[in-house]
Structure 1
């Protein structure tokens, strides 16, 4: 239990002095000044130091606050975009308050609101950037990482929370202290039996009209008690109306225009020599199948309504094919993609400009026949212009990490073209090529010392079960934690 907080107001001089010790860009300074302007109560508690993250729906800032015992603590301030729907904001808060703070899931400390601006305050966890360390992790590090990610997923899935955006940047990792934290529930949805009441509203299951903010505690089962409106360990006790948003500007639905393709241009000789990628279609027959044009039949098709939130490269096959019935299995697929990156030393492993290309990339690894058969199980038809064989996951990962020769590899030509380290050396100026070759640059002695020479078969068995193309048979987080890979680890 922390001591009662005392109020300390940041003066302009102290803020400027703090910033001088931490150099930031002019744009970030402007953003911080704007945040102080739209939420003045923040300046009574926090010294905002830097912007440490920015996404489509929010920006995250690093801030410092002085505690009652004289110590200083770091916090992460998540500023949500003003057009975020109020139910979506409330649902994210409820996920954090109900499921957060334990089992490697980030908790919430407080929430500030003024008009349509909302800031969620969370403990700050010092962590490493995944892309900088993915190729340097030992096998033991990888085992611990995926174990703790699975613990976080098991915990949130118990509450009926589908995170929908599982990726390394949303699972913070401190390598030295082996600390982990799952963050960002901004895209979360609920299962049909979810315990998060506001996720039910997003599903349309709770039809009873009621006010979202102010009239019901976001903690669900814990009713509000007088005198509990203070922040744990913070320095200010704002009025209730400043904390819980009551009226927020909601986004308006806009129609998205259909972009028609440009006329086919003449290919250069270099482009003509490149192997043509397989064409994937989500319908059986149309006038543009196996061509580079989009026909009127496809353009006039009624758009299927299905959740497809998430990050390209981590979306499960059922998301890419717009399957309407999506569950916690989509998080497990994303965990499998992360494990694939960890075992191969390649990040990002999949990178596609649209869903059909993403599906093709999955077929390149898991096989086109297998993908087509799996799609049938959840009511989708996929056609591929040529057959792609299913790859051996061990051979794939060991080749990419540099444990096998590319000459001896059975990987298809198009896959080698995007991952072959020999090609990387010829294009050393490309940052993307540099990080993709990080695993293969290790010497045999280094790989042996890091435990990569004798990786047990059952880690690839777990990878295979996580990357099961059929969501109905894909391994759950609870089942995965019982896998032989973790037999020597304490749950």
Structure 2
């Protein structure tokens, strides 16, 4: 995998190639000049992208069309052959798009950069965001027939549901030709994570995580968990400070089970990551006894510790999607009632890359080894408590500390410069906030892990002098889904189709029901949606 240029909709090369739940897409970065040290100012925020009117931007737009020419002959011919195959399978592509280059390819899909030949004929306001320098460029994702129909439809429907969410890749259109499914999304310029994670200034890291947690807050508000948050699925441009969350191939809706096999509740609006259950005395006694027995077995010979090779106990099944090194403890322990907390954990892992200057951070080859790596950091007792929370028993005779080490100390251990950041007061304060932030993201027990909304309140992500203050906070800017917000009581789902509708007033104050199109009926902050703006007039502004 190249280490420069753009990447899109990919899975990390360290992803589990043998996991049925993982979408393993390898991305080849586009050939372009490597990000130089001087291009990211250590004293200022990342430079905001220009509007494309000067000569440099015009040149960069031309480069976007000719990146394929920078590849070697063999690779160019391979990509051009893929172009021909795609056009033969989906003739509509040639009529509406000019294929320019390949952005990524993998087991379940390939992604291509293209120019939209009919862009001017459509209303593009729903998906154009400030970081899109030229809206004619798009990313065309060809989903292979190796994907199950349920998986394909799930991804398309979720992309439609996240319409309007901040810092999230928007679905422009999708269409099918026989067994071929194509999704078209905006093209976002970005840089390979490996080229900047060791030299991005603290203000750039803050921009990275503001964008990421805005995306997570908005999709979690819709009851959607991404399940594969990692650098390869968050396209960030250090020059502009803009980032976009992509690849919802593994995303799912959170469940609201009345009872689970764990000792925590399902996620709710009040408790987005669930809450600890009040257990009966008899059940608490059972858990304590299981823990005592596990501790006693630690002292036994090695052949008595672990589980038999011919194990006849029922297999515990649960969603374990994601990529090795980013899975939260509840995923590794096969919790069957996961929440947006797994995305927050993965985001905290990404922050550890920045803080420790190491990527990847873990080297486990399977989930058991991953649990051992985490236990070696957080300690045996903490891992015991996490296991009990998910109705599991943690047992190992591998020597490790009972108490472990806090994440902040672990980060400093791997990167001692964090303890003396050049003596700059502002940078020292920001790094202190970052260390506290990562501690809250990597809380082993999901119910007490920081939520995406709480993350945007944290001092590490506070923007001094920006468009909102800490008091107004992100509530003023979050994009609320239909059914939420100040006019949510005027939204309802159609009893037959399940689609969202709104109640509006017609002539003579007669009420009528209007079905919402994708991206409609969204409330921003405390403002009503566009259908009900006249019912909730804005308060008068004092001069």
Same fold (TM over 0.5): yes
Matched, 1:351 2:363: yes
1:302-451 superposed matches below 5 A: 302-385=314-397, 386-388=399-401, 389-403=403-417
Deviation, 1:21, is: 3.8
Q: Can you list the C-alpha shifts for 1:37-83, whole angstroms capped at 9, x where unaligned?
A: 21121111222222212344222111122356698821111111203
Q: Is 1:43 aligned to 2:43, yes or no?
A: no
Structure 1 residues 50-449: aligned runs within 5 Å: 50-67=101-118, 73-192=136-255, 290=302, 296-385=308-397, 386-388=399-401, 389-403=403-417
Equivalent residue pairs, number: 351
What is the rounded CA distance, in whole Å, between the counterparts of 2:249 and 2:155 in structure 1? Answer: 6
- Residue number in structure 2 paired with 1:32: 83
Match of 2:458 in 1: 483
Matches of 2:246 and 2:325 in 1, distance apart?
19
- 1:275-294 alpha-carbon deviations (Å, 9 max, x no partner): xxxxxxx99979x9845999
- Measured against aligned partners, the alpha-carbon deviations of 1:214-261 in whole angstroms (never above 9, x if no partner) come to xxxxxxxxxxxxxxxxxxxxxxxxxxxxxxxxxxxxxxxxxxxxxxxx
3-state SS in 2 of match to 1:390: coil
Alpha-carbon shift at residue 347 of structure 1 (Å)? 1.2
Secondary structure of 1:360's match? Answer: helix
Question: SS of 1:29's equivalent?
Answer: helix
The 2-side partners of 1:190 and 1:318 are apart by 17
CA drift at 1:361: 1.4
Residues 125 and 283 of structure 1: CA distance in aligned 2, closer, same or farther (over 3 Å): farther
> Do the aligned partners of 1:139 and 1:451 also contact (CA within 8 Å) in 2?
no
Distance 1:155 1:390 in 2: 34
Instruction: Provide closer, same or farther for how the CA distance between residues 289 and 319 of structure 1 changes in structure 2, counting only shifts above 3 A.
Output: farther
The Cα RMSD (Å) is: 3.4
1:357, 1:289 → 2: CA distance? 20
Shift of the 285–52 alpha-carbon distance from structure 1 to 2, 3 Å rule, reads farther
Alpha-carbon displacement from aligned partner over 1:109-148 (angstroms, at most 9, x marks no partner): 1112111111110000000111211101111111121122
Give the secondary structure class of the aligned counterpart of 2:182. strand
Question: Does the Cα contact within 8 Å between 1:138 and 1:450 map onto a contact in 2?
Answer: no
With the length of structure 2 as denominator, give the TM-score of the two structures. Answer: 0.59
CA contact (8 A) 1:313 1:352 kept: yes
CA distance in 1, matches of 2:206, 2:333: 31
Which SS does the other structure have where 2:417 is aligned?
Answer: coil
Contact 1:160/1:193 (<8 A) preserved: no
**Deviation at residue 320 of structure 1 after TM alignment:** 0.6
TM-score by length of 1: 0.64
Say whether residues 1:464 and 2:512 are aligned partners.
Answer: no
5+ residue gaps, structure 2, are: 1-64, 122-133, 258-293, 469-473, 475-543
What is the distance in 1 between the residues matched to 2:79 and 2:295?
47
